[in-house]
Amino acid sequence: MCGIFGYIGNRDAVPIVLEGLKSLEYRGYDSAGVAVVKNGEVGLRRCSGKLSNLKGLLASQPLEGNYGLGHTRWATHGRPTEENAHPHRDCKSRIVVVHNGIIENYLTLKRGLTSEGHQFTTETDTEVIAHLIEKYFDGNLESAVIEALKELRGLFAFSAISADDPQKIVTGRDGPPSVVGRVEGEGFVASDVPALLPHTRDVLFLDDGEIAVIEPGRIRLMDFSGKERELHFNRITWDPVQAEKGGFKHFMLKEIYEQPTAVSETLVGRLSLDSNEVRLDDVGFSVEEWRSFKNVCLIGCGTSWHSGLAGKYMIESLARIPVQVDYGSEFRYRNPVPQPDTLCVVITQSGETADALAAQRKARDMGMKILTITNVVGSMTTRLADGVLHTRAGPEIGVASTKAFATQLTALYMLALQLGRVHGSMTLEQLGAALSELTTLPHKLEKVLELDARIETVAKSLFRSNDFLFLGRGVHFPIALEGALKLKEISYIHAEGYPAGEMKHGPNALIDGNLPVVFVVTQDKDLPESQQRYEKVLNNIREVKSRDGIILSVGIEGDEEVAEASDHYLPVPASSDLLLPILEVVPLQLLAYRIAILRGCDVDQPRNLAKSVTVE
Ligand code: G6P
């Protein structure tokens, strides 16, 4: 949460910093600010609210300078007022700091610094960093930062500049992400990759415990004790244009429409139709290692947890090995019983979610092998993992995850096939059929997107409802959960996902003529248990109908029975049971999007949320 952007070079820093902040605004949008240095003086502008307010302020009170820092805030300590907006300064306004994360011991530090004569002007934890640096500053910024770091506790990423050690940005990380970019005569730092893409694709992800000193065209890396480290750059293959809206009104809509391509990219080079194999060579595990896994533990947060839950159904069905699923925030604070030969799969789009990373470290300490499924090359999760399976969704900017989810499900399905093959639980014929079906997914996704106009009509009749229920069974239950999450995230409508069979144990009491109930009621005609589940869900539909509930169903194309039983029917192409979730979720994403638009909500920047949750 919170976005940091810094620039140093020979160009005018303010427009570059503002452009960088624009692509980081998804991380927080309570307030924003920028500080630059010119002729040895710090200039600073801050205001509450979105970046557009800051732009307005800069139009009437311009700033100039060729190095500086900007920040877009998601408030943790201190209200989202102008005074609490970053950047923060020391007593003499010579040192400037922007920060993402939490300084846990800030109150103790603040008391100590105040008694030493430092004057604080904000309620934030960040301000202590500026005063601590001031305390230790004797002309060299990185040396003062190293001293300050010895006293800071918590999880943080920050950047600092000083008018008295000019032409230098010092940035450090112990928790939230910090990415550095370098081009001839210039240097950049940002909280995430998309902000750097207009300038460079060669980026350096700071490790926890690292400091980068950025000067025009020169970067030095060191640990928190000041010991120099080797630079470790990654090449990002994302196209800068991918991080723009490309004619769509919102990033979320663009990303929903990108799903055929995102899934197709995630499959490229990984399906060997000749040998009936999934090729997960890039993960880096040997066949012996793959065979050694007798249990799987899936960990994720938010939408990534939903894909983990669907992954459980996939792996248990195809590989016949036991799977447990955990929220990162739960796993890290419970006392799990270690199981030998467990593969822990951490699922995280950003690769930087604090709870997922903490759970990953815990699983590693428990002796589990770690595979991470992530969308961001070089992110922290990749450096804590034994193997990496990259989804190739491209940059996801909308706060509500869409294309990342579809690619995570695709990756988990391939993982299930791989485990099924090495454990001998799938025949070559079954593998071959699964692989060729995977190749049809992008086309089927395109067909599902054609439902958008119909969904808009449905949205018009339902957008005034105050509550929604989403129901499904089997692998379709996680999709019901995801449908409910999408709706509540961006439209602020109360929505609950439930296993359809559990309705009679409580939620039935909620049904009346005002309650829309969304059923995921697809079926795989070749699979007897899918048939049985389908029959049961049809019964659930009738139960809701007899109590006057409003029925919206996502079913299989041509299913007259479901169409007749429902008030609204959204058909997806027929598929095998475990691949249907990738198709079913799309109408639910579009439904949430269309309803949120009708309610006038800010889809890409929903209130109180942020895309990258780098604090607990
Ligand atoms: C936030 C985002 C969600 C995302 C979750 C986990 O809550 O708003 O869209 O699913 O974090 O993020 P991750 O990057 O770990 O998948």
Q: What is the rounded distance in angstroms from the CA atom of residue 143 to the CA atom of residue 95?
A: 14
As a whole number of angstroms, the distance between CA 263 and CA 272 comes to 16
Beta pairing class for 186-190 and 179-183: antiparallel
Q: Do the Cβ atoms of 362 and 326 come closer than 8 Å?
A: no
Q: Across residues 209-232, what is the average pLDDT?
A: 95
- Which of 2, 193, 304 to probe ligand 1 with, by most ligand atoms within 8 A of CB? 304
What's the rounded Cα separation, in Å, for the pair 204 and 223? Answer: 14
Buried b / exposed e across 12-34, counting CB within 10 Å, b at 16+?
Answer: bbbebbbebbbbbbbbbbbbbbb
Mutation choice for ligand 1 from 74, 299, 353, 384, CB with most ligand atoms inside 8 A: 353
pTM of the entire predicted model: 0.82
Ligand 1 centroid – CA 286 distance (Å): 30
Counting from 1 in the atom list of ligand 1, the atom nearest the Cα of 300 is 15
Q: Which residues line ligand 1 (CB under 6 A)?
A: 301-304, 348-350, 353, 356, 399-401, 609, 611, 613
Q: Which atom of ligand 1 is nearest to the CA of 405?
A: 10
Active site residue 2: yes
**Choosing from 22, 254, 403, 611, which is the catalytic residue?**
611
pLDDT at residue 209 greater than cutoff 80? yes
- pLDDT bracket for residue 409 (50, 70, 90): very high
**Region 322-343: what's the mean pLDDT?**
93
Mean pLDDT in residue range 399-416: 97
pLDDT in tens, 443-481: 999 999 999 999 999 999 999 999 999 999 999 999 999
pLDDT digits (tens, 9 = 90+) for 146-166: 999 999 998 889 999 999 999
Tell me the pLDDT tens digit for each residue of 9-20. 999 999 999 999
Tell me the average pLDDT of the chain.
93
pLDDT at 28 over 80: no
Residue in 2, 47, 297, 301 annotated catalytic: 2
Residue 74 pLDDT > 80: no
The C-alpha atoms of residue 250 and residue 248 are separated, in whole angstroms, by 5
Q: Separation of 350 CA from ligand 1 center, angstroms?
A: 7
Q: What is the pLDDT of residue 160?
A: 97
Which protein residue has the closest C-alpha to ligand 1 atom 8?
A: 611
Segment 266-281, tens digit of pLDDT:
999 999 988 899 999 9
Contact 482, 585 (CB under 8 A): yes
Could you tell me the strand order of the sheet in which 228-229 lies? Answer: 88-89, 95-103, 154-162, 169-174, 210-215, 218-223, 228-229
Cα(302) to centroid(ligand 1), Å: 5
Residue 176 CA neighbour count, 13 Å, CB half: 27
The pLDDT confidence band at residue 77, using thresholds 50, 70 and 90, is low
Q: Which atom of ligand 1 is nearest to the CA of 610?
A: 8
Looking at residue 155, its pLDDT comes to 84
User: β-strand 516-520 against 467-472: which pairing, if any?
Assistant: parallel
Residue 487 Cα to ligand 1 midpoint, Å, equals 15
Q: Whose CA is nearest to atom 7 of ligand 1?
A: 302
Q: What percent of the chain has pLDDT over 70?
A: 98
CA 375 – ligand 1 centroid, Å? 12
Q: In whole angstroms, what is the distance from residue 211 CA to residue 142 CA?
A: 8
Residue 614, amino acid: T
pLDDT (mean) for 550-562: 96
